[in-house]
Amino acid sequence: MIEVHLYGRLRRLAAQSGVWRPSIAWVDLQEGTVAQVMEALGVGPEEVSNIFINGRYDPAAPDQTVRSGDRIGLFPPDMRMLYV
């Protein structure tokens, strides 16, 4: 399972979608790219700005491989603290 922490409008994809507790979606995947995880959640690339893998921001995140037990953090464009 991949643990995906969701923020802002992306919280809607988690069972717990309020701001008061972590909004986490679990993706049943042994190994795959971040892009595959996002696809499984139904999140398009345009819906995401910052992506963290295990607490590390990675500008090339969509192509990176993650494995069961990894944690991903996804932030929407209106929380964008990036200019790319």
Partner 1 sequence: MSRLLRVNMADLKAAFEEVPEPYRLWGGRGFTSMVTSREVPPNCHPLGPNNKLVIAPGIVSGTAAPTSGRTSFGGKSPLTGTIKETNVGGLSSQKIARLGIKGIIVEGHPKEAGQFWLLKINKDGAEFLPATDLVGKGMYEVCRTLWERHGKGVAVIGIGPAGEYRLTNAGICVNDPENSAGRYAGRGGMGAVMGSKGLKAIVVDDTGGPGVEIADQTRFRAAIKPLTDASLKHDIVKKGGALNTYGTNVLANIMNEAGGYPTRNFSGGRFELTGQISGEAVAEIVKKRGGVGTTGHPCHPGCIIQCSNIYPYPDGKFHTSVLEYESVWALGANCGIGNLDDIADLIWACNDVGLDTIEAGATIAVAMEGGLLKFGDAEGAKKLLNEDVRGGTPLGRIIGCGAETTGRAFGVVRVPTVKGQAMPAYEPRAVKGIGVTYATSTMGADHTSGYTIAPEILSVGGKADPFNPQKAELSRSFQAATAFIDTSGYCLFDAFAVLDIPEGLAGMVESCAAVLGTKWTVDDIGRLGIEVLKVERAFNAAAGFTKAHDRLPEFMKYEPLPPHNTVFDVTDEDLDKVHAY
Q: For residue 69, is it left (φ>0), alpha (ψ between -120 and 50) or beta?
A: left
Asked if 59 touches partner 1 (CB under 8 A), the answer is yes
Of the pair 42, 59, the CB lying nearest partner 1 is at: 59
* Least distance (Å) between residue 24 CB and partner 1: 11
Angle at 38 between CA 35 and CA 42, to 5 degrees: 135
Q: What token pair was written down for 71?
A: 């944690």
The stretch among 30-38, 40-48, 61-69, 72-80 that binds partner 1 (CB under 8 A) is 72-80
Alpha helices in 1-84 (DSSP H): 34-41
User: Which residues sit at the interface with partner 1, rule CB under 8 A?
Assistant: 5, 7-8, 19-23, 49-50, 52, 55-57, 59, 73, 75, 77-84
